[in-house]
Structure 1
Amino acid sequence: MRKIEFVSCHKLPERSFFYKGKQFPFCARCTGIYVGYFIFIPLLWFMKIDIYWALLAIAPTMIDGLTQAYFNRESTNFLRFSTGILAGYGLAGLSDFIAYWIVYFFKHLFIN
């Protein structure tokens, strides 16, 4: 059984973007996740993401990554980046959901 190596893809030039001849420190998928997260975190002030939509948005990244790891399939940097942006959107929604319930829990713990 093969184990998942979480950061080995960051070092592969074929899985990374380049700017002015220098390789990004993260792979295309993680770059997309970070971009998506930082785009959607400020937008959460104006719109809320349903928990089911957040989980659904993360699914394509998981499917892409796991099928690459276990089925000897190679995806493109465009696919990695675009599914990463979706995952960033979903992670922003999950972060908002978790933060809401932490605040809710502590308000009711100390106020009641």
Structure 2
Amino acid sequence: MTKIQFVDCHRLPERSFFYKGKQFPMCARCTGIYVGYAIFIPIIFFFKINIFIALLAIMPTTIDGITQAYCKRESNNILRFITGILAGFGLAGISDFIAYYIVVSFKFLYHLI
């Protein structure tokens, strides 16, 4: 039976980027996720992302992370970063989807009162 475990990769030098000799405080994948948030959250104000496309965008990161953790496969920082950006895009889209339906629900409840 395979046990799901937390993989702490943030402080591993081989999984982090360096700038001017200083290691980033997070791994390349999480750096990509934050870059994806920064790029796509402003875009969401103008363009809505289909929930299925958002879920699909998260899949490369999921596949890369799971195959690296459980299939004895080693990824590289560029792949981690790119799939992280896609995940940031997908997570921003899912967050927008959830926020929209929370607002719609509250408007509906407000009109019932």
Unpaired runs of at least 5, structure 2: none
2:9 equivalent to 1:3: no
Q: Distance in 1 between matches of 2:45 and 2:77?
A: 31
User: Which residue does 1:60 correspond to in 2?
Assistant: 60
TM-score (norm 1): 0.96
TM-fit CA distance, 1:2: 3.9
Aligned-CA RMSD value: 0.9
State the number of aligned residues. Answer: 111
User: Which residue does 2:35 correspond to in 1?
Assistant: 35
Q: Matched residues, percent identical?
A: 69
TM-fit CA distance, 1:38: 1.2
Instruction: Give 4+ residue runs of structure 1 displaced > 6 Å after superposition.
Output: none
* Mapping of residues 38-49 of structure 1, within 5 Å: 38-49=38-49
Residue by residue over 1:26-52, the C-alpha shift from the partner in whole angstroms, topping out at 9 and shown as x without a partner, is 000000000001110000111110000
TM-score (norm 2): 0.95
Does the CA contact (< 8 Å) of 1:54 and 1:91 recur in 2? yes
Residue by residue over 1:13-72, the C-alpha shift from the partner in whole angstroms, topping out at 9 and shown as x without a partner, is 000000111100000000000000111000011111000000000000000000001001
2:88 alignment partner, SS class:
helix
